[in-house]
Amino acid sequence: MKNLFLFLTLLVLSVSAKAQQNQTQKDSTKTEKLDEVLVHAIRAKKSDPITHSNLTKAELEKRNLGQDIPVLLNYLPSVVSSSDAGAGIGYTYMRVRGSDGSRINVTINGIPYNDAESQGTFWVNLGDLASSTESLQLQRGVGTSTNGSGAFGASLNILTDAVANQTSAEISNSFGSYGTRKHTVEFNSGTLNDHFSIAARLSNIKSDGYVDRAFSNFKTYFLQGAYVDDNTLIKALAFGGKERTYQAWFGLTADELKEDRRQNPYTYDNETDNYWQDHYQLHWNERYDNNWSTNLGLNYTKGKGYFEQFKGEEAAEDFNNLIVDDSELIVRRWLDNDFYVVNANVEYKNNGLNIITGFSYSNYTGDHFGEVIWGSNLATNTNINDQYYFSDALKNETSLFSKANFEISEELSGYVDIQGRFVKYKTKGLTSKRKGIDVNESFEFFNPKFGLTYNLNYNNSLYASFARANREPNRDDFENGIDTHERLDDYEFGWRMNNEKIQLSANLYYMNYRNQLVLTGAIDDVGAPVRATSGKSYRLGLEVEANIKVSEQLSLRPNFALSKNRNVDFYAPVDGMLTDLGDTPISFSPSIIGANAFIFHPTENFQISFLSKYVGEQFMSNLNSKVSGLDKLEAYFTSDLSISYEIKSKAIFKSIVLSGLVNNIFNAEYVDRGYYYTYDDTWSAPGLTTTVDGSGYYPQATTNFLAGVTLKF
């Protein structure tokens, strides 16, 4: 695929070195629709009975000064975002309806992005992806059938930059608190010889982090070549880059937080994560007539990298006897993986009927291994870079789906979506703790979805839907002895209103889980959350989202979510005894989340936005504070101020855009994420088992700013 991309690039350059200036005969609407076909199969349309929110490129640009996509989505309903380093750059996270990133399905142009084994989404590998994003849609709940891991809290599908008809270029530079800077150069050839185009972006983002020495350094790229005519779109893309991030995965204890919330307890200079990831995609969309169209997508992702860590006074047996007991050493823990995907679908439209049928196949292979790169006292015959553990993994997944939208009457329309998902996962070898991992499991899932939309009148509609999702355990779950799959039944009922002054969406949801893998609150030795099966559990909530036009210059965009998130008849060991705790709150699931944006447009090219976010208290465990109460995070309220001003120019530049962002303007000292752990103490009092607990916290930045200038040519 890489060779194909290079061929297409050379073809574009050889056909013409100069963009065609006369675009009057080009139908940009057709081009735009062909771009949208890349995500048509998995996106919800405006009238579908699916709870969703959309963001456009123009909306993302207002706040895109270097922070990652989870932070840019923070003001959407039911979303809570966080970062290890505290300033929204580096390792960043997002939860939706209380579900963490491993339960949020993410696709880029319809290609699965979640890691096949951990099922997590590592935004640190896609720095500045927002600069190459045309639009995105966040579906809350199960949503539509999608490609990749099952959506148990939400799905996020991203469409990268559309084919542009006009030649353009941009240079963007932003600077801010904690040594943050972002430098981006973009170029778009426009249409060459009526059919070809090429676009490119290079970015470098650096930040020292709010937390001491929690620095990030991203170097990323985006390259796209395209051929387009009235009925055909062929796109070849390459994007990715390299990241280096300092360790801030384990947060702070309560005492450390009180002493200095910006401190970092790690002292080794190179306690860093280093990872390279490159994505190569080829998409072919073909429209045959007004009724039929097809889409084919191919993907290859190469990922490789390591986490370097200092360890002191370790036991020899924990490192394959490569060291002498009580030695100090430095290790690198590697991942080396390859990911192939084929997506294909066919779409039929006619007289109120829309049918999309397709399949997705993926193949993942990955090696996990650790090396000793230094030791204070190496064992005899030990060489630097000797491995102390190794395991390989293979995961194949096939997904078949068919979905239909159809008109039942002038007021009533229906939606049916049926998916079969077939997963095979194998891994063998040793974990980083030198424990055997031998998995050979297959899963077959049937995921039906259906719903109705009823138009009360031109401005109001109601919808109701049911969706089922199943998902397999991830690698960490298998390591912890969990091999049962989860099931979710999601019921949604909503009302949409749209008139000249108000756009409003309100929905009730009930998500009923069986064997839900909930976060215990604890993390493992690389900061990954540990999960356990909760048996029966549910989430019941109300979400409201609105866009209110107060005047031509002022609009309000409030949203809030009220929810009840419960484990049913939850059992857990307390003081050595398995205890029935009854119905307990699900961890990391606040019952109140609210946000609002005041958006003021004094003139067409000047925008001021005042954004506020409230997140209610949440528990970091499922114990309902039955041990000591250390498992609770307090509620917090933050506000940001965003300013954007565009200066039109007739000289060298088309325009100059000045942007500013003040985060947390009221200087709140808050913690939005943490972890909680327990262990049984049998030594303090012989014959008596006592549950001992502790917690860790990730402090977020106080008042900080980002300011940028974009020169558009």
pLDDT at 414: 97
Three-state SS for 410? Answer: coil
For residue 398, is it within any domain?
A: yes
Please state, in angstroms and as integers, the Cα–Cα distance from residue 463 to each residue in 78, 168, 326, 455, following that order. 20, 42, 64, 9
Residue 261: domain span: 2-17+29-712
Is-contact 585 597, C-beta < 8 A? no
The gap between the terminal CA atoms of the chain, to the nearest Å, is 32
Residues of the chain with pLDDT under 70: 1-33, 519-532, 681-687
Q: What is the 3-state secondary structure (H, E, C) of 353-406?
A: EEEEEEEEEEEEEEEEEEEEEEECCECCCCCCCEEEEEEEEEEEEEEEEEEEEE
Look up residue 118 and give its DSSP letter.
Answer: T
pLDDT at 5: 35
Rounded distance between C-alpha atoms, residue 310 and residue 617, angstroms: 35
pLDDT at 4: 38
Rounded distance between C-alpha atoms, residue 36 and residue 286, angstroms: 12
The β-bridge partners of 513 are 488, 537
Q: Which residue, chain included where needed, has tokens 């078949």?
A: 400
Write out the DSSP string of 465-534. Answer: EEEEEEE---HHHHHTT--PPEEEEEEEEEEEEE-SSEEEEEEEEEEEEES-EEEEEEE-TTSPEEEEE-
Is-contact 487 472, C-beta < 8 A? no
Is-contact 413 452, C-beta < 8 A? yes
Which positions ≥6 away from 314 have C-beta within 8 Å? 323, 326, 327, 328, 329
Is-contact 131 203, C-beta < 8 A? yes
| pLDDT one-digit tens code per residue, 258-296 | 999 999 998 899 999 999 999 999 999 999 998 999 999
The β-bridge partners of 46 are none
SS3 content of the chain, % helix, strand, coil (to 5): 10, 60, 30
pLDDT at 580: 82
Is-contact 114 103, C-beta < 8 A? no
Q: Which residue, chain included where needed, has tokens 């049913």?
A: 568
For residue 23, is it within any domain?
A: no
Write out the DSSP string of 617-641. Answer: -EESSSSTT-SSSTTEEPPEEEEEE
For residue 22, is it within any domain?
A: no
Write out the DSSP string of 235-271. Answer: EEEEEEEEEEEE--TT-B-HHHHHH-TT------TT-
For residue 24, is it within any domain?
A: no
CATH at residue 159: 2.40.170.20
pLDDT at 569: 86
Amino acid at 684: S
Rounded distance between C-alpha atoms, residue 423 and residue 471, angstroms: 9
Write out the DSSP string of 144-156. Answer: S--SSS--SSEEE
Reference 112, options 364, 286, 337; nearest CA is: 364
Rounded distance between C-alpha atoms, residue 370 and residue 336, angstroms: 11
Which token pair is 614? Answer: 């409230």
pTM of the model: 0.92
Write out the DSSP string of 311-358. Answer: EEEE-GGGGTT-B-TTEEEEEEEEEEEEEEEEEEEEEEEETTEEEEEE
Rounded distance between C-alpha atoms, residue 64 and residue 660, angstroms: 10
Rounded distance between C-alpha atoms, residue 314 and residue 327, angstroms: 6
Rounded distance between C-alpha atoms, residue 205 and residue 179, angstroms: 10
Q: How far is CA 140 from the centre of its chain?
A: 13
For residue 234, is it within any domain?
A: yes
For residue 316, is it within any domain?
A: yes
Rounded distance between C-alpha atoms, residue 417 and residue 507, angstroms: 20
Which H or E element spans position 707? strand 704-712
Neighbour tally for 20: CB within 10 Å? 18
For residue 66, is it within any domain?
A: yes
pLDDT at 316: 94
Rounded distance between C-alpha atoms, residue 231 and residue 30, angstroms: 8
Three-state SS for 546? Answer: strand
N residues, the chain: 713
For residue 172, is it within any domain?
A: yes
pLDDT at 667: 97
Phi/psi region, residue 19 (left: phi>0; alpha: psi -120 to 50; beta: rest), is beta
Q: Which residue, chain included where needed, has tokens 């048509």?
A: 40
Domain count, the chain: 1
pLDDT at 23: 37
